[in-house]
Amino acid sequence: MLPLTLTLLAVSPAAPVPRPAPPDPTGYAYVGVKMSLDGTANRRLRVDEPEPGTPAAKAGLREGDEIVRFGNLAEPRSFYDFADYVIDLRPGTKVLVEVVRGGQTKTLWLTLEVRPPPPDYPDPDFSRKAARR
């Protein structure tokens, strides 16, 4: 039988971990998803692409999900209904999202984030050149 040995380690208390800064209450809320109408008679918004690393992707939204409810917005019928609702919310708000996925209703929680700034284009004439193509 082996002898049982207790070893005490001197551990200094860890420094407290600072809390992350709260989201900017004056910023615009951001979901990070591309959507379209599903084309069927029920005309639900369908997720075409949740952008990686965005609130939509973190919440678990997937391509093909049909949005049944987004917070207090029941049955959004257009992207404009959806955008008008989201713009009134603040970053950091947790929203209950109901989707239909593969014929089953799923409930997800999505935390809105601050809308990122538009990308910096290296060429200031980028938009004019793109319009000419």
77-85: average pLDDT: 87
- Residue 105 inside a domain? The answer is yes
For 4-23, letters b (16+ CB in 10 Å) and e give: eeeeeeeeeeeeeeeeeeeb
Burial class (CB in 10 A: 0-12, 13-18, 19+), 69: middle
Segment 85-94, tens digit of pLDDT: 988 888 888 9
- Residue 103 inside a domain? The answer is yes
- Residue 59 inside a domain? The answer is yes
How many independent structural domains does the chain possess?
1
Q: Quote the pLDDT of residue 24.
A: 63
Segment 21-57, tens digit of pLDDT: 665 666 788 899 888 887 666 678 899 989 999 999 9
- Residue 88 inside a domain? The answer is yes
- Assign residue 105 the CATH number of its domain: 2.30.42.10
Q: Quote the pLDDT of residue 29.
A: 86
- Residue 66 inside a domain? The answer is yes
Q: Quote the pLDDT of residue 114.
A: 85
DSSP 59-89: HT--TTPEEEEETTEES--SHHHHHHHHHTS
115-121: average pLDDT: 71
Q: Where in the sequence is the domain holding 99, given as residue range(s)?
A: 29-114
Phi, psi of 98 (to 5 degrees): -110, 130
Find tokens 């999505």 and name the residue: 110
Burial class (CB in 10 A: 0-12, 13-18, 19+), 112: buried
Question: Which tokens hold the place of 76?
Answer: 């959004």
The pTM assigned to this predicted structure is 0.67
